[in-house]
């Protein structure tokens, strides 16, 4: 039985800067390889980040017998195909969110992981951090009474005109990139919505630069969120019920300023609930490691990632049809 996992990076994407320290900090993980579309780029990147092996094409990384786990940080439109190829090569996979752009592609990933007997996991790092686990437990324990509404916002100013998030053919758009966090968090806290409705503002490139959506539950609970690429940084979430309000300060990305604030009905005082300072990216690396080596269940299994893609695609469909969509 292996006692640790060797990781390989499928591309030199900017988000690697967050994951590389997380892999190196994890107790049973080791970064051993990186791949790029050119050998020169791969070699230079490996030297910069002190990675032992560099591959000049993506398939070479999948064929590397020393690599156990593939991290897929490619543009959204490439997630499904390369995740499936990695799984078929017998590798475990951590794929950046969103897992895919269609429910059908999520099903392909689930089938490939089952057939190969390996672990695939969406890199929704915030849901592996204790902060959000504590928030969900508080709500389940009745800290705010019967939940009535939930809301969340996530935005930042994207000022790079050549960024892949502006490109329609690569799965760009603020809902896929930013809105997936509020939608996944509301679902994490409250369960699966029954119906959604969305509005969007399109950029010159044709992707949504701003998106606002509603999530409706048959129980009467309502959720709302907004996201955007042309606003200052905002990261907030709140759940309100019959007995109080729970605010999550900076829910994404989680930082040293993230915390829970609980206010009971009839008082202006907020109880501050802090968490140990843990790196959310390391939390997700440790979670995949435990799933592979110990058989531990994933906090966000592929079925949940599939449900999030179903909600997001229903929100996009709502904007096209101008009417609510069932999920």
Burial of 230 (0-12, 13-18, 19+ CB in 10 A): middle
Spatial CA neighbour of 110 closest among 85, 84, 81: 84
Burial letters for 140-163: b for 16+ Cβ neighbours within 10 Å, e otherwise?
eeebbeebeebbbbbbbebeeeee
Locate tokens 């759940």: which residue?
Answer: 239
27, 97, 148, 264: the catalytic one is 97
Q: Is 97 a catalytic residue?
A: yes
Known catalytic residues are 97
């Amino acid at each position: 039985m292996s006692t640790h996992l060797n990781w390989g990076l499928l591309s030199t994407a900017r988000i690697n800067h967050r994951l590389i320290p997380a892999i190196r900090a994890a107790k049973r993980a080791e970064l051993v390889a990186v791949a790029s579309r050119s050998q020169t780029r791969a070699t230079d990147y490996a030297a910069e980040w002190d990675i032992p092996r560099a591959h000049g094409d993506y398939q070479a990384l999948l064929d590397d017998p020393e690599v156990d786990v593939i991290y897929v940080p490619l543009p959204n439109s490439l997630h499904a195909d390369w995740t499936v190829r990695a799984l078929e090569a017998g590798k475990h996979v951590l794929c950046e969110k969103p897992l895919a752009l269609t429910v059908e592609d999520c099903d392909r990933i689930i089938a490939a992981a089952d057939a190969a007997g390996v672990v695939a996991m969406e890199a929704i790092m915030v849901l592996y951090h204790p902060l959000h686990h504590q928030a969900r437990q508080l709500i389940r324990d009745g800290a705010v009474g019967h939940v009535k509404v939930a809301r969340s916002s996530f935005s930042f100013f994207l000022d790079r005109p050549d960024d892949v998030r502006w490109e329609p053919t690569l799965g760009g758009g603020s809902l896929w990139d930013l809105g997936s966090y509020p939608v996944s968090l509301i679902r994490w806290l409250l369960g699966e919505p029954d119906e959604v409705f969305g509005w969007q503002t399109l950029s010159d490139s044709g992707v949504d630069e701003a998106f606002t959506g509603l999530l409706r539950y048959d129980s009467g609970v309502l959720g709302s969120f907004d996201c955007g690429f042309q606003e200052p940084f905002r990261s907030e979430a709140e759940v309100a019920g019959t007995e109080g309000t729970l605010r999550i300060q900076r829910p994404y990305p989680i930082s040293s300023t993230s915390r829970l604030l609980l206010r009971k009905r009839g008082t202006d005082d907020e109880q501050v609930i802090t968490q140990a300072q843990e790196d959310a990216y390391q939390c997700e690396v440790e979670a995949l490691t435990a799933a592979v080596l110990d058989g531990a269940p994933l906090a966000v299994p592929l079925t949940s990632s599939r449900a999030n893609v179903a909600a997001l695609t229903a929100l996009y469909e709502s904007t096209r049809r101008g009417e609510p969509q069932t999920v």
